[in-house]
Structure 1
Amino acid sequence: MSDLSLWHATANKHPKRPSLEGEKTCDVVIIGGGFTGLSVAYHLQQRNVKTIVLEAQSVGWGASGRNGGEVLIGYVEPMSALAKKYGRETAKQMFQMSMDCVDVIANIIEKENIQCDFFRNGNMLTAYKPSHLDSLKKEQEFLYDEYHFETKVIEKEDMHTEMESTYYHGAHIDDKSAIFHPLNYCLGLADAVEKYGGTIYENSEAMKIEHPSKDEVVVKTRNGSVKAKHIGIFVNAYTTDLHKLIKRAIVPVESIVLATERLPEELCKRLIVNNRAACDTKNLLYYYRLSADHRMVFGGSGRTTSKRDAKRLFIHLQKGMTEVFPALKDAKVEYTWSGKVGFTIEKIPYIGQLDDGTHFAFGYAGHGAAMSTLLGKIVAANIVNEGDKNNPLDRSNLKPIPFHSHNAKGLGIMKYYFKIKDYIS
């Protein structure tokens, strides 16, 4: 079994990029070489705005190369709940953004000929309890009544048309979501940034930010510095003390993923009939899909603090996979890995510009594979003063989460609470 992610093991051939040496200048310095930062650079380079991307590790090393590769419309909470929280018009804007994000990715993949196994066959949200299916039916009605967005609900007795499993009590299906090889998309996006004149430095951790004047910022690394007019920080759950306000506005939550050995194609066609993305309605949810090389990719929540703890968590996750898919009881697990997911206190992504001039976007809550590229595009527009001032996700008045330093303990308590809630719901 490999601790290397499936995506890193099957990545397209890509260059090893140099680390920053000496003093450089550009229009915009971008910290973070994942989906968001690369999208900002890509869309700025389209406008002939010179960008430099600083990545502490390698392109796609963080969540962009570790996620499940599910490009989903919507948010963690149902749109009906968001409409109650923020109002109908704001929720409508938010929903349209979640629809647009998949189109933006599809267009980039086509334009730049990125080979990343992009399949737009939709998403299947599976009902863990009968009561959950009732809620999914209400959400289906809401989406159609409010947005004229057509989805379908599958009853338990018809689940065989979508998956070979009796674990769930039905499903809510949209046809607009997608799956892809996340790291290969990220690597292709990096190639496109460079094609249009951007520069990417790997193994170049930003260690200090200075503001010599109102219209100038300097980012220092171990062996160099970048002077620019604008700065953006896009490291999501991998934030550091580089910018304390941003760090204290996001909560990192660990997710774990496994991938099986290659499975017979005929079995794959039975397991997830229409090759969709999938996740369930538990609070401590499972998410799963098939890879292009016929493996089951199966993920869930878990915090790996040691090798012994990691082994226990992955054994438990594999047990969960075989409960959902009994046909995989003898399937060998070949890859296991983990990564951090970023949450805001509202459980929606944040975007904006702080008083010190720093642009940001983070807190995708498991929907970053979809939303991050779009938010990167919006940040790029904001930097050149072409953005929409009425963005419903704008949180330029960013505030730290109360008692942020105690969130690790709080997450442990919340997971125990959610485990009980999943059991009794």
Structure 2
Amino acid sequence: MINKTLWGATANEHKRRPVQQGEETCDVVIIGGGFTGLSVAYHLQQRNVKTIVLEANTVGSGASGRNGGEVLIGYVKTMQALAEKYGNDAAGQMFQMSIDSIDLIEGIIDQEEIQCDFFRNGNLLAAYKPSHLDGLRREQEFLYKEYGFETKILERSEMRTEVDSDFYHGAQIDEKSAIFHPLNYCLGLANAVEKYGGTIYEHSEAIRIKRESHDKVIVETNNGRIVAKQVGMFVNAYTTGVHKQIQKSVVPVESIVLATEQLPEDLCKQLIKHNRAASDTKNLLYYFRLSADNRMVFGGSGRTATKRDARMLFENLQAGMVDVFPALKDAKVEYTWSGKVGFTIERIPYIGQLEDGTHFAFGYAGHGAAMSTLLGKIVALNMLNEGDINNPLDRSNLKPIPFHRMNATGLGIMKYYFKFLDYIS
């Protein structure tokens, strides 16, 4: 059942889009039909900038249609850690961007009437060890002191007010995060791009980018080419060799997800009482939420290289789900799938424009469901020369990751290291 996603099985109508053929012209050619690329096109088309989106597969076939559907504030690192590294002002700007990103998504969903089961009931971050709860307390204090942002700490004795589990030692709750059906949001965003006059081609992989002058770039596909004034590449963890500098600056990490059979509504209300997004503090974390049709969606890390590996990984993931929620010990798993998550060396998203003129945004580290739409809007503004030159995520001087070609070996070693950290922390 690998790659049989719940989201694909429950998607809204996905109309068939044409393959790009022959020569065409536009203002901006966009490589990648996921959240980021579609957001760039959406915001440009609203300003009557003619865009063409090239998608190698189908809209939302990558991470945008395969993630857990958790739309979260913040980043993979704590805001306290980010402030220590980049300074309070830059970290504060980054934190506000993460909140703004969810506001933007909510506004687009409302304006474009996208049916994607968006519920903004917050996020529960569960402490895997008692020491982790101490860290959550420190983060709570930091967020309120520095940014005036309020969260709630749950002690272990209070966890049953939120989840039907004794697995964790407490939690931090924010009320700004959300959940949605990620593929339906992506499809709705694509429909909106076309409503405003944009063009989207599927099964139309960009195979070569040639910059001929400051305001002329040619992107070749298997069946034709696009001549444009500007180009942007937004494929994140699914990047190819079409742009080596970008490819060598992002590391793809595989994530696996399962979804159970439909559960009784009373059981769902017991499992996650306020229909929140949820995850834990392990380095090799679990993340989980309920779907709109009453299934537990439960994810973790793992590389499904072979069918045997996949079977073992999903069996372990299901066992992890039962460890967290013993009430699901007899629940049948109906969907299992995997997908790639993009990481930068700093574990924060990157955005910018390279010396050759190519715009980019990638490296969401598991927070792309939230941040990608906003970064797509910022890229659009940058293309119009209206962006904020002081964006703390700007990495226009992009440097490749050292020994990038060895990242698969390195990731294997890092996973053992993270597992060890989870054990000793």
Shorter-chain TM-score above 0.5? yes
Q: 1:389 offset after TM fit, Å?
A: 0.5
Native 8 Å contact 2:90 2:392 kept in 1: yes
Q: Aligned to 1:211, what secondary structure does the other structure show?
A: strand
**Deviations along 1:239-288, whole A, 9 cap, x unmatched?**
00000000000000000000000000000001000000000000000000
Does residue 263 in structure 1 map to residue 263 in structure 2?
A: yes
User: Which residue is equivalent to 1:186?
Assistant: 186
How is 1:139-288 mapped onto 2 (pairs within 5 angstroms)?
139-288=139-288
Q: Aligned to 1:299, what secondary structure does the other structure show?
A: strand
Q: 1:423 offset after TM fit, Å?
A: 1.0
Q: Aligned to 1:207, what secondary structure does the other structure show?
A: strand
Letter in 1 for 2:307: K
Letter in 2 for 1:165: S
Native 8 Å contact 1:40 1:376 kept in 2: yes
Q: Aligned to 1:310, what secondary structure does the other structure show?
A: helix
Take 1:92 and 1:210, find their aligned partners in 2: how far apart are those partners? 38
Take 1:186 and 1:152, find their aligned partners in 2: how far apart are those partners? 31
Native 8 Å contact 1:302 1:313 kept in 2: yes
User: Which residue is equivalent to 1:403?
Assistant: 403
Native 8 Å contact 1:2 1:334 kept in 2: no
Does residue 77 in structure 1 map to residue 77 in structure 2?
A: yes
> Higher mean Cα deviation, 1-10 or 214-223?
1-10
Take 2:118 and 2:3, find their aligned partners in 1: how far apart are those partners? 25
Take 1:408 and 1:66, find their aligned partners in 2: how far apart are those partners? 21
Does residue 374 in structure 1 map to residue 374 in structure 2?
A: yes
Q: Aligned to 2:347, what secondary structure does the other structure show?
A: coil
Take 1:389 and 1:210, find their aligned partners in 2: how far apart are those partners? 26
Percent identical: 76
User: Which residue is equivalent to 1:65?
Assistant: 65
Native 8 Å contact 1:253 1:340 kept in 2: yes
Native 8 Å contact 1:75 1:367 kept in 2: yes
User: Which residue is equivalent to 1:352?
Assistant: 352
**Deviations along 1:330-376, whole A, 9 cap, x unmatched?**
00000000000000000000000000000000000000000000000
Q: What do you get for the CA RMSD once the two structures are aligned?
A: 0.6
How is 1:114-125 mapped onto 2 (pairs within 5 angstroms)?
114-125=114-125
Runs of 4+ displaced beyond 4 Å: none
Change (3 A) 1:2 1:356: closer
Structure 2 segments unaligned to the other structure (5+ residues): none
Native 8 Å contact 1:30 1:232 kept in 2: yes
**Deviations along 1:292-318, whole A, 9 cap, x unmatched?**
000000000000101111000000000
Take 2:114 and 2:30, find their aligned partners in 1: how far apart are those partners? 22
Letter in 2 for 1:280: D
Take 1:267 and 1:212, find their aligned partners in 2: how far apart are those partners? 60
User: Which residue is equivalent to 1:388?
Assistant: 388
Q: Aligned to 1:210, what secondary structure does the other structure show?
A: strand
Q: 1:2 offset after TM fit, Å?
A: 6.4
Give the length in aligned residue pairs: 425
Q: 1:214 offset after TM fit, Å?
A: 2.1
Q: Aligned to 2:105, what secondary structure does the other structure show?
A: helix
User: Which residue is equivalent to 1:47?
Assistant: 47
Letter in 2 for 1:69: G
Take 2:2 and 2:244, find their aligned partners in 1: how far apart are those partners? 35
Q: 1:213 offset after TM fit, Å?
A: 1.9
Q: Aligned to 1:26, what secondary structure does the other structure show?
A: strand
Q: 1:212 offset after TM fit, Å?
A: 1.9
Does residue 308 in structure 1 map to residue 308 in structure 2?
A: yes
**Deviations along 1:13-41, whole A, 9 cap, x unmatched?**
12110000111100000000000000000
